[in-house]
Amino acid sequence: MALFKENLLAGQVALITGGGSGIGAGIAQLLAQQGARVALMGRRVEKLEEVASTIRSAGGSALTLPGDVRDYAHVEASVKRCVEEYGRLDIVINGAAGNFPVPASQLSSNGFKAVMDIDLLGTFHVCRAAFEPLSRQGGCIVSITATQAFVPTMLQAHVGAAKAGIEKMTKDLALEWGSFGIRVNTIAPGPVAGTEGMARLAPGGMAETLKKNVPLQRYATIEEIAGGVLFLVSPAGSYITGAMLLMDGGLALLGGRIFE
Ligand code: COA
C-alpha cells in the first residue's frame, strides 16, 4: 500500500549521513523512491556503494561520499561535492551515530568522547556545512536521535548525553534558521528491528523481553522510521520546526523500567 503520493520529492536533493546501513540506508531508499537525488555519506565506502547501487537499479540517482562526520573538513567537502554534482541541497538527514552499551562506571573518557563526537559534534558539523546551500531556497534537516535523550537508560549515559544535546541544538537551530526557510526537526525512535544498534543493545533473549514490554508489542521497522522522515520533509510537514517526532511504539511511557 502506498502511504504517500508518488514523486513527492521530485527535483529535490537529500544528503544522508550514515546512509550506508540501517535506518540511514532505509531513509535514503525511501527519499530516492520519492524522486529525490540522494548523496550518502559514511565511513564505509563499500556499504555506501551497496545502497547506492540498489537505488540506481531502481531508477534513482545516488552519489557516495566516503567520510567521517567527526572531521569538519570531510563534511564540508561532502556538502560541496553534493552541491557541485546536483546543483542544490534541500534535505539533510543526520543518521550517523555510534553506540555501545557500557556502565558509566567503566566508560573511559575517550569512549564518552567518541560517541559525543560522532553524534553531537558530527550533527553540528553537518548542519553547519549545509546551512549555506539550504538557505539558498529553503530546506529541512532531520536528525535521528533516540529515546535515551530523555528516558534514563542503563548503560547509555554517553549516548543519552549526545542525543539530548542534539535535541536541544535542534530547537536552537530551528529558532535561528527559521527566517532562512530552514526547518530543523528530530525523530526519536525506540527499538528498531534489523539495526546494528539493536543488535548491540538488546542481544539474544533481551530482545524478546524488550519486545513484550513495548506497548505496541513489537519493534519498529526501518521503513516506518523512514516514513516519519518523509512526513517531516514533505509538504505535510511544512509548518513543523523545532519538533521531536517520537516513534517508539509507546516505550517511553514506561520510563526507564523496560526490562521488568
Ligand atoms: N565498551 C566500552 N568502551 C568502548 C566500547 C565498548 N563496547 N567500544 C569502544 N569503546 C571505547 C574504546 O575503548 C575507546 O576508548 P579508550 O581509548 O579509552 O580505550 C573509545 O571508545 C573509542 O573507541 P574506538 O574503537 O577507537 O572508536 P572508533 O572511532 O573506531 O569507533 C565507536 C567508534 C566506538 C562508536 C564504534 O562502536 C563505532 O564505530 N560504531 C559505529 C556503528 C555503531 O555504533 N552503530 C550503532 C549506531 S546506534
Sign of the alpha-carbon dihedral angle for 109, 114, 115, 116? positive
Return the SS3 of 39: strand
Q: Residue with the nearest Cα to atom 11 of ligand 1?
A: 111
Cell 511544512 belongs to residue: 238
Q: In the prediction, which pLDDT does 124 show?
A: 99
| pTM of the shown model | 0.97
Cα–Cα distance measured from residue 213 to residue 93, given in angstroms and rounded to the nearest whole number: 30
pLDDT digits 0-9 by tens, 127-149: 999 999 999 999 999 999 999 99
Q: Measure 231 CA to ligand 1 centroid, in angstroms.
A: 32
Architecture of domain 13-246: 3-Layer(aba) Sandwich (3.40)
Q: Stretch 29-38: mean pLDDT, rounded?
A: 98
Residues in the chain: 260
Q: Does the structure show a pLDDT above 70 at 259?
A: no
What pLDDT is stored for residue 232 in this prediction? 98
For 240-250, write each residue's pLDDT tens digit.
999 999 999 99
- Residue ranges per domain, the chain? 13-246
Q: Whose CA is nearest to atom 48 of ligand 1?
A: 197
Q: How far is the CA of 162 from the centre of ligand 1 (A)?
A: 14
101 CA distance to ligand 1 middle (Å): 10
| AA letter at 62 | A
What mean pLDDT value characterizes the chain?
Answer: 96
Dihedral angle over CA of 102, 142, 247, 7, nearest 10: -140
Average pLDDT over residues 114-123: 98
Does the CB atom of residue 97 touch ligand 1 within 6 A?
yes
Q: Which of 122, 102, 99 is nearest to 199 (CA)?
A: 99
